Amino acid sequence: MDYKKTNAPTTTVVRDMEKFSEPTGNVYESLAIIGKRANQISVEIKNDLSKKLSEFASYNDNLEEVFENREQIEISRYYEKLPKPVLIAIQEFLTGKIYFRNPAKEKDKLDK
């Protein structure tokens, strides 16, 4: 997924807590969902960055030789400018792009 195309803010924004509780009915459950999604996004971004930077890896044991690769620097800057995973997850949650379910609530509905 190209996270640069998200319309998530790159800085912290004051949010209305009531909007977080609308989809689940519970603020804490909503924040748990956002936290889990933020972890998933963080892992995806880290894997993408590691894969792209592994192309530039040098396997020489010589510590005196340090190469500055302009492409490597540009890739690093791109990932530094991305919104934080939590901000992306909040944006996805508030726009309804995250699928979630609570098996405990579903079980309670079936028992009644």
**In this prediction, what percent of the chain has a pLDDT beyond 70?**
81
Q: Cβ(98)–Cβ(38) under 8 Å?
A: no
What's residue 106's pLDDT? 75
Expressed as residue numbers, the domain containing 71 is 24-111
Considering the domain boundaries, does residue 10 fall inside one? Answer: no
* pLDDT over threshold 80, residue 27: yes
Q: CA 29, CA 102: separation in Å to the nearest integer?
A: 9
CA 46 – CA 76 distance, rounded (Å): 11
The type of residue at 80 is E
Residue percentage of the chain with pLDDT more than 90: 36
| Residue 83: CB atoms within 10 Å | 19
Distance CA 86, CA 79 (A): 15
Angle between helices 70-81 and 27-54 (to 10 degrees): 170
The secondary structure of 65-76 as a DSSP string is: -----HHHHHHH
What is the rounded average pLDDT for all residues in the chain?
Answer: 83
Q: How many domains does the chain have?
A: 1
pLDDT digits (tens, 9 = 90+) for 49-101: 999 888 877 666 555 445 667 888 888 888 888 899 999 999 999 999 999 88
Is residue 50 a part of any domain in this protein? yes
- Residue 87 located in a structural domain: yes
pTM of the shown model: 0.79
